Copies of this chain bind each other. A is one copy, B any other.
């Protein structure tokens, strides 16, 4: 696909022009003619979006149903998806939706050795950024204790929608010493018992799950998550349950039941207790915040190299979340970094808890 069809997408209200420090680019706000949402045209090149990967909830049938050949298994990291690329002399990080992410763009030189993009300016590194110091999602892997880390999981080329083959990707990762997602080997579709054991082990390590990539030209993919991920997602977000679709939670409850059913009830352990705690303890925290501070919020702290990027991040978040929900707390120098602190105010939960704790009636 050449850049021109994307310009057609503008006419169909499926693409928008966006500004960035280096000029302007085109961003696909919806899928269009086979290109996923988040695809961009920048400096005359197409950077394809990273499509969503379908999920299997049963290994025994799902592996057979999805894969016609052995597949590579990699860790699915609980963070946010970026595409890192070089445009002229600038390194940029694109979010899933195709925005320039001011945080990841700022921190890219800390997170990986960027010489790969000097040597191969046509490459795009697809990666997950995770950790307590990131500005977007609620959770993070327990093994990242501070700030953020980046994990490359795919490499693409400009103007091309497919990914480099596994061997080629791993040669680049090893050659440049790039941080990458953990690699668990190559499995055949019959090996569902082995995959089940792998997922059980990953659950115990607090890992989100796996992405499976067929070792074949069609490169078909599917993902599968652990019980840990289901419970941790609930624990991490239930304090603002009214600000999320209720289906978010019920989907995770259902995935958990299916996971345990396949692992065998003997592996139930204390998951009933953990699930109940995830729901209750997160809500007790929100109730306490509402009583003490009359609002339900979460404070994020993110390190920046350049304070201008901190300001760009706030602008970016306010654009995405609505002006009232992001409250800046301050930007302070700490060592070599500027630390931006801001609150995400959960407006619906704040309103609901204020109403009911004040004695208001609810009709439902």
Chain A residues near B (Cβ < 8 Å): 52, 54-58, 60-66, 222, 238, 241, 245-247, 249-251, 253-254, 256-258, 260-261, 265, 268, 271-277, 279-280, 283-284, 287, 356-364
Given A246-B249, A250-B241, A276-B276, residue A63 in contact with residue B363 (CB < 8 A): no
Q: How many Å lie between the Cα of A268 and that of B281 in the bound state?
A: 11
Q: How many Å lie between the Cα of A359 and that of B357 in the bound state?
A: 45
Chain B residues lying within 8 Å of A287, measured Cβ to Cβ, are 257-258, 261
Contact A58–B246 (Cβ < 8 Å): no
Chain B residues lying within 8 Å of A60, measured Cβ to Cβ, are 359
Contact A280–B275 (Cβ < 8 Å): yes
Chain B residues lying within 8 Å of A362, measured Cβ to Cβ, are 54-57
Contact B257–A364 (Cβ < 8 Å): no
**Minimum Cβ distance to chain B for residue A5 (Å):** 24
Chain B minimum-CB-distance residue to A57: B356
Q: How many Å lie between the Cα of A274 and that of B362 in the bound state?
A: 25
**Minimum Cβ distance to chain B for residue A279 (Å):** 5
Number of copies: 2
Contact B272–A55 (Cβ < 8 Å): no
**Minimum Cβ distance to chain B for residue A76 (Å):** 14
Q: How many Å lie between the Cα of A261 and that of B274 in the bound state?
A: 19
Chain B residues lying within 8 Å of A364, measured Cβ to Cβ, are 55, 247, 251
Q: How many Å lie between the Cα of A65 and that of B283 in the bound state?
A: 23
**Minimum Cβ distance to chain B for residue A259 (Å):** 11
Query: B258, B268, B358: which contacts A61 (Cβ < 8 A)?
Result: B358
Contact B258–A280 (Cβ < 8 Å): no
Contact A361–B66 (Cβ < 8 Å): yes
Chain B minimum-CB-distance residue to A220: B361
Contact A64–B284 (Cβ < 8 Å): no
Query: B241, B245, B272, B359: which contacts A277 (Cβ < 8 A)?
Result: B272
Chain B residues lying within 8 Å of A64, measured Cβ to Cβ, are 359
Contact A257–B280 (Cβ < 8 Å): yes
Contact A222–B361 (Cβ < 8 Å): yes
Chain B minimum-CB-distance residue to A363: B54
Q: How many Å lie between the Cα of A126 and that of B336 in the bound state?
A: 72
Query: B246, B275, B277: which contacts A247 (Cβ < 8 A)?
Result: B246
Query: B56, B61, B250, B359: which contacts A250 (Cβ < 8 A)?
Result: B250
**Minimum Cβ distance to chain B for residue A243 (Å):** 12
